[in-house]
Amino acid sequence: WIKRIYADRGYRGNFIEAAKHDFGVDVEITHSNYSGQFVPAKKRWVVERTFAWLENFRRLCRNYEETTDSANEMLMVAAVVITLRKLTSVNNSF
C-alpha cells in the first residue's frame, strides 16, 4: 500500500532501483535548498515531527523490546495515545 518513499541524499544509487524492482515503490530524493533560512523539505518535516512525538515514549526511545512484534505493538499503542491526545485537546477547546 506504500506508493512513494521520500528519502534524503543518503539513499541514492542502488536503493532506488531495488525499491522499484522488488517492491514497486517510487523513491523521491529530497534535496536541501539551504539559503540561510530554515525551509522545511518537502514532506520530510512530517516524518521528523512524528519521530519526535514517538521519542516521548520511554519504551520507544531505546530498543527495550525482545521481538519485533512487541516493538510493533508498542508503536501502535503510542500512535493511539497520540491520536487520543489530539482528539481530547480538540474537544476541550469548545
Q: 77 pLDDT band (50/70/90 cuts)?
A: very high
**pTM attached to this predicted model:** 0.55
- pLDDT band, residue 44 (cuts 50/70/90): confident
Confidence of residue 34 (pLDDT cuts 50, 70, 90): low
How far apart CA 54 and CA 61 sit, in angstroms, is: 8
Average pLDDT, the chain: 81
Joined together, the cell numbers standing for residue 81 give 495515545
Query: Smallest Cα–Cα separation from 43: which of 52, 34, 31?
Result: 31
Query: pLDDT at position 90, please?
Result: 59
Higher-pLDDT residue of 11 and 67 is 67
Q: What mean pLDDT do residues 51-73 have?
A: 85
What nine digits make up the cell of 32?
Answer: 536541501
- What is the Cα–Cα distance from 36 to 77, expressed in whole angstroms? 39
